[in-house]
A and B are shown apart, each in its own frame.
Chain A
């Protein structure tokens, strides 16, 4: 089930009413209900892969206890390794099997040994990268003695499978989210309203802007050989915005719907295109994943407390692994590597603290443009496609911008929407209490505003029969 579907529009209000009306009276009952609806939510894609979630949850619930009760360090380590092998084993098999086989055969082919591997058809279970990382953080945190294991299996199973964030995050830490399943949810109107508004905002971003940009981007990337300077540059910029709007929209809906059920999820995006440096960017972009890699990979590798060359290597390793996390392709590895390089090269050279307003604008532009360029590797199907697109930037031609799925009226409308969104982000960056201010407006104004936005979405939204560009991008990871 995807958020922007009729199924979800029926599913969520039903869950909301049953949750608050019947099930949020006893913790166990509430958690069983959440597990059931989460499994239903996930099962709408493929019931078979529910077994993976159940196996992953059972394993980590059991191993977490073992690590905690075991006194011998070597045995504790052994249990942790077992958890890593099982979780990463599933992930590796379903996501990277073909990648590794293909990479091995290509390497052998370089030395003149042609191997023809037997290919098996493997379907990638939706959200496997997200829930695997979430459960892993649980066992690692127990091993590091940061948390104690839970004794409540239903709470733990609900924590792993909680439907709003199950398939595309935010990747939550057990210390933050698990306790929320161990107590009954309390609710106030403000929280409900802010949750609903956040969902509303997410849908607006997705339907109004991201999906419209997707039309242009998909057409442009599907016809890379015929791009010229302007269309190639537009595709690069549009994809940077599409990715941000699409993924942050998902996060907003996930956080908003969780909030409506009385759960608080962590922030995943904080206006990344206004970042002052590349390090700053990664504190604003996909925050839950960046911090996961920082805590569970970068710091264990030595973090900042190692010699310069080792630190450089560690940063590049973390970024390349992060790239690989996104997908089994060298494109993602290169994308990660480039972003590692950006931090290493530019952050120390260009960016200083206490910069002026003009410098801040320059920094944000520099970071955003560099990021957008790196995303060519992220979006292109193959390395050749990525290089082709870069070469198209230097192809002077007169291809119309309106040949990529958006006609003149819709293209100009999209540009206006994008500009409005950028202005809104700048305002939000400078006025954190914008929501509070808005809440103080007269109710007629607020209602008129919401109705107008809803009407705007219905009549101007990018949706329709047979429009296949409406899946969230991060679902594929």
Chain B
């Protein structure tokens, strides 16, 4: 009891001396009180932000998902290839396929509608927690932007990409460069930026309140930053419009701002400082979608050619054979993206460029158990990796077989699901051949409904998986048992 009393006395004398101290210092007193008031208010706002009450769209926040996943990914893995840019990047490149082709870990950290300045600060943050060997920067963000002007007001993508980033330090340091002072608070708090939901979007608000109460589901799927937004290729209607109205984009209109130039320089310097290889990548729009691209290219070249970094320009070297109408979004708007189909073609092209044009040593993880485990069964895995002998689900039928002038690297049966099998054949490219218009015919000993027989299986050339050193042929199979292969031949028209 005595101890307690003493303690109380001490506490009372401490608090009274504190209050006397503050009473003698009115300036300090008002500062302390103001800070306390602001602190309490800030806690309320932070809680609201964390809960996501005022998020514009909680259900489809792929920008935030990319950053969250990136942070958790680098905790356990290394990112070897980092791809940054805007929507053109995340819809135009397939990171799983790219990883499988190159045998490494590729990650796309691209946000919609962002400019090269956002890319720079995003890259800066990403390089604080990862050490990629190669960085690929997509060039659509290098344009005539002014960082202090917002597009689409409070739902501006600039806010979304800034908000998704997680490092307080880099966010704080980049705020002044990314926004004018009036927008600082909006950039930092969804609750402040979108507080008008109370009056204008009560549906979203109540949806967010409900979502905040639910526990988020843990997604175990491998996510490497792709966001597939477009699946439908260019329609006949749009093709007709190209013919009647011409291209919606004119390369002569392209320009860049001093900010764009400044931040390209900064990206180059940053990568140089960190000893990271950097390349620029221009993903294409359909060739009829843009006219006078040479003018665009020359203008953009003014910035990019200042630096020794390589620039892969798929628009300029437009591949009319492979980049068909299926590869591009069905739109006449100026901002045309690639479809899933297009992203596969572009990914292989990029992989080829990296393999052949760059003089750097990238890690090859194809033999790493951890890597194989992570990518096993993912998009492009079987097209780019050999089925192992001990694989219990999939079967390797042939390996390194020379037959009828063909060098067959591998033939295997891949089980996609219970009723769906795919027969994949990989044939080594030889200089004199072009097998892209041919079929591969295989003779196989099979068993179907307890009847053994030799059947002919025709495999089609796979246009989507265009490897640099192999032709891929594929055929869907009914659930039959293939004992072995007897023969193989190429049928060309």
Interface residues of A (CB under 8 A from B): 5-7, 10, 13, 16-17, 20-21, 187-189, 192-193, 196, 260, 407, 409-410, 413, 447, 450-451, 454-455, 458-461, 464-466
Contacts and interface: CB of A to CB of B under 8 A. Distances in A.
A464 B193 contact: yes
A196 B182 contact: no
A188 B150 contact: no
A16 B202 CA distance: 40
A193 B191 contact: no
Contact of A451 (B40, B153, B182, B191): B40
A196 B34 contact: yes
B200 A459 contact: no
Contacts of B192: 458
A416 to B, nearest CB: 13
Interface string B145-178: 0000010011010010000000000000000000
B430 to A, nearest CB: 60
Contacts of B193: 464-465
B29 interface: yes
A184 to B, nearest CB: 14
Interface in B1-46: 23, 26-27, 29-31, 34, 37, 40-41, 44-45
Contact of B37 (A188, A407, A450, A460): A450
Interface string B183-223: 11110000111011011101000000000000000000000
Contacts of B26: 187-189, 192
B31 A17 contact: yes
A464 B23 contact: no
B181 A5 contact: yes
A183 to B, nearest CB: 18
Contacts of A188: 26
A156 to B, nearest CB: 27
Nearest to A470: B182
Interface of B: 23, 26-27, 29-31, 34, 37, 40-41, 44-45, 150, 153-154, 156, 159, 181-186, 191-193, 195-196, 198-200, 202
Contacts of B40: 451
Contact of A465 (B29, B34, B45, B150): B150
A21 B34 CA distance: 17
Given A5-B182, A6-B182, A6-B184, 17 more contacts: A6-B185, A10-B181, A16-B27, A192-B29, A196-B34, A260-B30, A407-B199, A410-B199, A410-B200, A413-B199, A447-B37, A455-B44, A458-B45, A458-B192, A461-B195, A464-B193, A464-B196
Given A20-B27, A192-B30, A461-B195, A6 B181 contact: yes
Contact of A192 (B23, B27, B181, B195): B27
Contacts of A20: 27
Nearest to B187: A465
By Cβ-Cβ distance, the 3 closest A-B pairs, closest first, are A189-B26, A465-B154, A466-B153
Contacts of B186: 464-465
9 contacts: A189-B30, A192-B30, A407-B200, A413-B199, A451-B40, A464-B186, A465-B159, A465-B186, A466-B150
Nearest to A408: B199
A189 B29 contact: yes
Nearest to A195: B30
A189 B23 contact: yes
Contact of A466 (B37, B41, B154, B199): B154
A187 to B, nearest CB: 6
B23 A465 contact: no
A266 to B, nearest CB: 23
Contacts of B185: 6
Nearest to B22: A189
A264 B4 CA distance: 49
Nearest to B202: A409
Contacts of A461: 195
A196 B34 CA distance: 9
Contacts of B181: 5-7, 10
A409 B195 CA distance: 14
Nearest to A1: B181
B182 A459 contact: no
A459 B37 contact: no
A235 to B, nearest CB: 20
Contacts of B41: 451, 454-455, 458
A454 B199 contact: no
B198 A454 contact: no
A410 to B, nearest CB: 4
A187 B27 contact: yes
A6 B175 CA distance: 13
Nearest to B196: A464
A460 B191 CA distance: 11
A422 to B, nearest CB: 22
Contacts of A413: 199
Contacts of B199: 407, 409-410, 413
Nearest to A196: B30
Contacts of B202: 409
A99 to B, nearest CB: 32
Contacts of A192: 26-27, 29-30
B14 to A, nearest CB: 19
Given A192-B26, A450-B37, A451-B41, A458 B182 contact: no
A460 B30 contact: no
Contacts of A410: 199-200
> Which of B153, B185, B191, B196 has the largest number of chain A CB atoms within 10 A?
B196
Contacts of A189: 23, 26, 29-30
A17 B44 CA distance: 26
A459 B189 CA distance: 12
A409 B201 CA distance: 11
B431 to A, nearest CB: 59
A149 to B, nearest CB: 33
Nearest to B23: A189
Contacts of A260: 30
Given A6-B181, A188-B26, A459-B191, A465 B153 contact: yes
Contacts of B196: 464
B25 to A, nearest CB: 9
A465 B158 CA distance: 12
A450 B33 CA distance: 11
Nearest to A461: B195
Nearest to B27: A20
A465 B37 CA distance: 25
A64 B54 CA distance: 58
Contacts of A13: 34
Given A189-B26, A189-B29, A458 B195 contact: yes
Contacts of A465: 150, 153-154, 156, 159, 183, 186, 193
A13 B34 CA distance: 10
A74 to B, nearest CB: 52
A410 B29 CA distance: 38
A447 B33 CA distance: 10
A13 B153 CA distance: 29
Nearest to B194: A464
A433 B192 CA distance: 35
Nearest to A190: B26
Contact of A464 (B34, B154, B191): B154
Nearest to A17: B31
A89 B104 CA distance: 75
Contacts of A451: 37, 40-41
Contacts of A10: 181
B30 A193 contact: yes
Nearest to B186: A465
Nearest to B156: A465
A455 B47 CA distance: 13
A188 B26 CA distance: 6
